[in-house]
Structure formats: C-alpha cells, structure tokens
C-alpha cells in the first residue's frame, strides 16, 4: 500500500498545525515522521489514520481518495502512545477485539478468532499471559499487546505514534529491534512518529522531518544525516557545534563578525597533543564518560569571547589525551565540517586535507 499526502492543511484557530504537507509513503517500508513537539507530526499521523480531519487536502491509499472514508473503513492498524489497551478486558480479549467487532460474513468464527489470538500471542511471546488483566502487564508487555491488537485485523498500513516513548532504555532497544524484524517479515507499510532522532535514523527506510507544520526535508537516513538541506535539519539530527566563521584555504576560521556559520558534529572534531596547520588550541574543561566513548567539553583559546566546543571521542583516545595534555591544553581541528552560507542558504562540505594522527 502506498500512501499519498496531498497539500494537507490544518489549523486550530489561528495556530497552523499543518501548513500544506505533501508526501509519498512507499509500499512495505518504514517511514518516520520526525520532529520536535508541536511540529505537527502526530496530527499528520492522525489525519492519515482518519482520527482527525484536515481543513483541506487529500489522503490517497494506492491512488484511491480516502479523505472522507471513516477511520473504521481505512484498514489501518494504529498503535497509540500510551497503548490505549482496553482496561476492562484481558490480554486475549484486547487482541481479539478487532475481529469480534467485524460484522456478517467478515466476522471469523469463535474458533478462528481464538486460533488467531493464539498465533498473535505466540508472535509477541506472551503465550501464557492471554488471561491476564492488562493492568498486570509491564510497559514492554503492554506495548507488544497493543502491537498484536493492531495487527490482528491484518491492516494494510501500520501507524505507530511514539511507539517507544514510555519505555525504559533497555526495553526500548529490544522492542525497536523486534519491531524492525517483524516489519521486515510482514512487509507491512509502516509510518512511525517519533521525536527521537536516533530511533528514526536506526529503523527508518525514509525520514520525513517536520517543523512548525512543514516538511523540512525528506529522504533516507543517510541522505538527511549526511546532506541536510538547512540548519534545522542539521541541528535536529544529533548534537552539533555551531560557530560564526569563514573558510580560509580549506580550514575553518572562527570569526564572530561573520554572518556565515560553521557546523561540526562532536565526533568529527580531532584533538591532538601537537599543533598542526590550522589547529586551534583549547583547554579541557570537563568530560562525561558514556561507556565506550567520552564527551569532552573544551574552551577555545585566543577567542574574543569564550566559546565552548563539545567533542565526542573514542575512550582509548581520550585516555591518551588526558594523560599527555600539558596544563590541559590540546589542539583541535575539524576533520569534516559544513559551511553554511547565509547568502545562498546552502551548505558546502569540507574535509581536512592534512593526514591526522592523534597523540604522537
């Protein structure tokens, strides 16, 4: 099932929630709607589902206009942020609900329903919990029940609203992997809403980045990460150091009077104990150990006003640097950075020309 979103607009009073959205959702892929809160991503998902109506615009499923088709008849599976399990029903009853509400010839027999529920319980690995009340489940279990319930009706599209938002980190990781496997197995067209860029980069085939009710950029995770079209996308897809500056002979020169900007990700900063061409001296101010890597905060020297840089280093490199740094001074350069011209509103890429070694 392909989905086309054509010029969808929606406002609440004078607040524009969706300002003319156009998008194509590919068959059998995971497409992520990524954006900060208030970007309109959840509203767009709900408009696609039919839970909300747009002021204007069209939603097409496989080329058929679904804009006026009620949510019950769209053939979607929707997983809600807080799971929205039916509190007065058991796990099995929750999963069976979509089948039991079917009418006439569409309604499977009770045996068929209970067989299907068993299959789904096995799929989510909760075989023994069918008779449980849903308030006795853990967050991760609830989420899987919500997924099974949505899949029971064999929807043509799976819509997920912040599916991992309410889970702790370890369970989230597990379920992310699980969902990805399941989606690949079923090949169901999936749209997921998230504000978590790591999550989006990890499991999406395609990412649509929204901000203030507009699409900032759409593309594969690599495309949007490597070639962001604007500063918003660049900043939103991970940590970034932003300076005013210019480029001189391929080197970034920090210059507070410049209108242009230099964007550099923490892992693209190179630190050394010896000074190379174009290096900037910097003082180590603090560090955070994040397991296999370390985030270091550095203060640049020789700047008119103090400016801080965040660098993300391999732990072994960091330990060598800390050992060898005289008075906490290291030399910093940008291995790869982007220059954003205020005039052309475009990024250009720069790679450091000199060969690099860390400490020696």
Q: Between 167 and 207, whose beta carbon lies closer to another protein? A: 167
For the bound state, the minimum distance from the C-beta of residue 98 to another protein, rounded and expressed in Å, comes to: 4
For the bound state, the minimum distance from the C-beta of residue 48 to another protein, rounded and expressed in Å, comes to: 11
- Residues near another protein, by CB under 8 A: 49, 51, 70-73, 76-78, 80, 82, 84-88, 97-98, 101-102, 133-135, 142, 149-150, 152-153
For the bound state, the minimum distance from the C-beta of residue 15 to another protein, rounded and expressed in Å, comes to: 13
For the bound state, the minimum distance from the C-beta of residue 71 to another protein, rounded and expressed in Å, comes to: 5
Q: Between 27 and 154, whose beta carbon lies closer to another protein? A: 154
For the bound state, the minimum distance from the C-beta of residue 257 to another protein, rounded and expressed in Å, comes to: 49
Q: Between 33 and 240, whose beta carbon lies closer to another protein? A: 33
**What would the two tokens of residue 303 be?**
């700047």
Q: Between 70 and 291, whose beta carbon lies closer to another protein? A: 70
For the bound state, the minimum distance from the C-beta of residue 324 to another protein, rounded and expressed in Å, comes to: 54
Q: Between 85 and 121, whose beta carbon lies closer to another protein? A: 85
Q: Between 136 and 177, whose beta carbon lies closer to another protein? A: 136
Distance CA 345, CA 234 (A): 13
């Amino acid at each position: 099932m392909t989905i086309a979103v054509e010029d969808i607009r929606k406002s609440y009073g004078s607040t524009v929630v969706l300002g003319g959205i156009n998008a194509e959702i590919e068959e059998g892929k995971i497409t992520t709607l990524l954006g900060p809160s208030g970007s309109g991503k959840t509203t767009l998902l709900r408009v696609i589902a039919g839970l909300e109506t747009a002021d204007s615009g069209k939603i097409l499923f496989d080329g058929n206009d679904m804009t006026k088709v009620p949510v019950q008849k769209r053939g979607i599976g929707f997983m809600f942020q807080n799971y929205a399990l039916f509190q007065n029903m058991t796990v099995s009853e929750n999963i069976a609900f979509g089948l039991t509400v079917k009418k006439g010839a569409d309604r499977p027999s009770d045996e068929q329903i209970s067989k299907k529920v068993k299959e789904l319980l096995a799929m989510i690995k909760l075989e023994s919990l069918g008779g449980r009340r849903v308030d006795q489940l853990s967050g991760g279990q609830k989420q899987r029940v919500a997924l099974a319930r949505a899949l029971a009706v064999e929807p043509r599209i799976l819509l997920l609203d912040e599916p991992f938002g309410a889970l702790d980190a370890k369970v989230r990781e597990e379920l992310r992997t699980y969902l990805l496997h399941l989606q690949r197995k079923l090949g169901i067209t999936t749209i997921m809403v998230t504000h978590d860029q790591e999550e989006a980069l990890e499991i999406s085939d395609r990412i649509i980045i929204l901000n203030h009710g507009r699409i900032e950029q759409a593309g594969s995770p690599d495309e949007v990460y490597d070639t962001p079209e604007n500063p918003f996308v660049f900043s939103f897809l991970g940590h970034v150091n932003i300076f005013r500056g210019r480029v001189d002979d391929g080197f970034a020169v920090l210059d507070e009077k410049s209108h242009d900007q230099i964007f550099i990700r923490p892992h693209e900063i190179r630190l050394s104990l010896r000074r190379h061409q174009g290096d900037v001296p910097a003082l180590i101010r603090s560090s955070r150990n994040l397991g296999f890597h370390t985030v270091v905060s550095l203060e640049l020297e020789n700047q008119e006003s103090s400016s801080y840089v965040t660098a993300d280093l391999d732990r072994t490199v960091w330990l060598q640097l800390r050992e060898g740094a005289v008075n906490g001074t290291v030399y910093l350069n940008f291995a790869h950075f982007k220059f954003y011209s205020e005039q052309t509103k475009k990024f250009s890429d720069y790679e450091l020309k000199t060969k690099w070694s860390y400490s020696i």
